[in-house]
Structure 1
């Protein structure tokens, strides 16, 4: 065995393990969202996560990977690698194409999972399947090509997004906002007199466990993006990831204590996630102190964004836009301000790099916001022309678990269900 073979083998093990950590995050999404929604919709959330993994993996294999990482066509789209075939020599990897695909596939599944929480408790299951196909096969891969392919037009301008604050989280966040606006709020969420009705989470301990699993998986998300087990920056990436998430969580604890006179558990949970989202773009490029700043700002901004949406009667059951859209935007712009010299092609504004990087980061952020929002809105309009995107009033009132899937999340031994009646719903 040569030294090159050994290096490739070690990198392969590293990338496969971190890809598995990212895929485990789907369990985190499932528990987090099931805990945030009402009991009558817990099965519905779990079913959407199964759609994310299964349809997401298949569509990314068939077409998404080719659009994202195939040979470039005009800086706009890739066009080789459909079903992992064709010419992919331009990737120049130290790992196999299969290994690289696995890691990238874990990312695309995470993108669609962001949207699932924003549409909870009111989207029809078949409509969600169609949207998942469009997001994983088309919407995400094309934007991903622009920024993560060396020939993509944003990459050529110099945009930096190490592990996806823009490409994954901002895209998913703005798509989630479009979906929530299109569907409208849940029945009874906002009264006709302007009153806002709180929908209590069904199981905060369950949501907390989901957040902890996401927190764990994020180290694979960020550190795994090196694609190399021998990259000396892995330790720094892991440290900035932890510091930012801790700062986001701590900031939310203190900020909600000052604002509401008590630490708000759902906000604290989302504060940790906001810090993780915020650091994802710059985890390899910023200092430890800046990571703490990014996390704290992301956490507080998440709280304010949640209040802003609620004041405008936008119903986002799990805070998908506030966590991913807002914090992803902050993280994307922070790179343009704080990227340290020598860590990337361009330095941040505060490190003598001038305005170029910040301008490119801002451009990429505007592009992803418009792309994610507009394409999702158009997708939902098209789907709705075929079949209603939103469930019926009766289905929403009884809950999607029984109304759509024919089974409750929680039952007692003495409960009996008429299977024929459930199948007719």
Structure 2
């Protein structure tokens, strides 16, 4: 087999693993929320991946990779609507579009990333956001905001062209923080679920199926082999191997430190904190997975695990209701992982740290106003929150007319 074929097969395998992550997100979200909202969460996750791929085909891919050079044509420097594979002089498909993989593989791999930003928001707004409003938000955020954000770095934009280029290997900022900023804004505008805070005091609202949540995290960990491993953009054995090693070690240390710190602080063995610590470690290593030593990865993951425990507590003190811990995992650990590139590994330097800081602020400056404008407009027009009756009785029965477990009803909160 020639190298192009080997690279392309590896990239397609990684694409399949990233696709599999959407099952992980779905299981994690339904596991950490109540039974009466299960169908609603599953519906959102299915909508995100189906609409996300079509939107990325129609405008996202071209908007994210416009060229940014004097030869670029069309509105905003991209070719227009839909994909158009590059052709050689004979009018045949040019399989040498990239030294590592084909044009179509590139589209599909990047398309799997695109929907993740909206999936992050889905978990944060679970159990009280109107489905119609979420659908409109997801279309606008995945279709426009995410590709524009991605173009700044991965599309050859201004962050890539800094004197010391901003670095984000697989998306601690470009994917996770982009979703995390929107989740923060959405949670603030939505307000907490009924019963989450009574007389100003935090009240736990346990998820209905922790085994499903655990399965979801393990599936996400597996999917990260494709998320980070595929971001090598080839089957290079050295680069791929070290990337997978750093990814796994960061996940392990993140989980263990979250477990240890939460046990010391709260005097109990909290599995959900353990699970979010694993995810925090994965998000934290994603920005620099190819640039870190195994020891660096363990330290980065460990700090992410500690951050998870204190970030979740801080978010609760702000009376922001995030049922699945998405803000702590994807935003806080995404920022940490991005800054860690300038502190650890092959790129560590003051100049790199400064560029990483610029990147963090630039994405905040885009995502906070953009998500606020979208969600606030929805709030004052069609509304973003379901009625008190719908929230108390569950979104499944009111928005979908059925139960996820029609013959197995549990006590509801």
Is the structural similarity TM-score above 0.5? yes
Give yes or no for contact 2:67–2:155 (8 Å, CA) kept in 1: no
2:337, 2:330 → 1: CA distance? 10
User: Partner residue of 1:368?
Assistant: 363
Q: Note the alpha carbon deviations across 1:143-171, whole angstroms, 9 max, x for none.
A: 10001122x00011101100000100111
Give yes or no for contact 1:233–1:284 (8 Å, CA) kept in 2: yes
- Displacement after TM superposition at 1:230 (Å): 2.8
1:262 and 2:268 equivalent? yes
User: Partner residue of 1:380?
Assistant: 375
Paired residue secondary structure (2:153): helix
1:413, 1:337 → 2: CA distance? 51
TM-score (normalised: structure 2): 0.92
Give yes or no for contact 2:85–2:104 (8 Å, CA) kept in 1: no
User: Partner residue of 1:252?
Assistant: 258
Q: Note the alpha carbon deviations across 1:172-227, whole angstroms, 9 max, x for none.
A: 11111011111111111112x21111101111111000000001000110011112
- Displacement after TM superposition at 1:335 (Å): 0.2
Find the partner of 2:145 among 139, 142, 153.
Answer: 139
Find the partner of 1:103 among 83, 101, 109.
Answer: 109
Paired residue secondary structure (1:337): coil
- Displacement after TM superposition at 1:73 (Å): 6.5
1:69 and 2:65 equivalent? yes
2:231, 2:358 → 1: CA distance? 23
Paired residue secondary structure (1:156): coil
Paired residue secondary structure (1:100): helix
User: Partner residue of 1:40?
Assistant: 36
Paired residue secondary structure (1:266): helix
- Displacement after TM superposition at 1:386 (Å): 3.2
CA RMSD of superposed structures (Å): 2.0
User: Partner residue of 1:19?
Assistant: 15
Paired residue secondary structure (2:152): helix
1:395, 1:211 → 2: CA distance? 29
Map residues 263-282 of structure 1 onto 2, 5 A cutoff: 263-282=269-288
Paired residue secondary structure (1:233): helix
Paired residue secondary structure (2:342): helix
Please list every run of 5 or more consecutive structure 2 residues that lacks an aligned counterpart in the other structure: 88-93
Please list every run of 5 or more consecutive structure 1 residues that lacks an aligned counterpart in the other structure: 341-346, 350-354, 415-425
1:234 and 2:240 equivalent? yes
- Displacement after TM superposition at 1:85 (Å): 2.1
1:194, 1:247 → 2: CA distance? 34
User: Partner residue of 1:327?
Assistant: 333
Find the partner of 2:388 among 374, 383, 393.
Answer: 393
Give yes or no for contact 1:71–1:80 (8 Å, CA) kept in 2: no
Aligned residues: 397
User: Partner residue of 2:90?
Assistant: none
User: Partner residue of 1:190?
Assistant: 197
Give yes or no for contact 2:86–2:97 (8 Å, CA) kept in 1: no
User: Partner residue of 1:8?
Assistant: 4
1:409 and 2:409 equivalent? no
Residues 73, 409 of structure 1: CA spacing in aligned structure 2 closer, same or farther, 3 A cutoff?
farther
2:334, 2:134 → 1: CA distance? 23
Once the two structures are overlaid, the 10-residue window that deviates more, 379-388 or 171-180, is 379-388
Give yes or no for contact 1:111–1:172 (8 Å, CA) kept in 2: yes
Once the two structures are overlaid, the 10-residue window that deviates more, 139-148 or 224-233, is 224-233
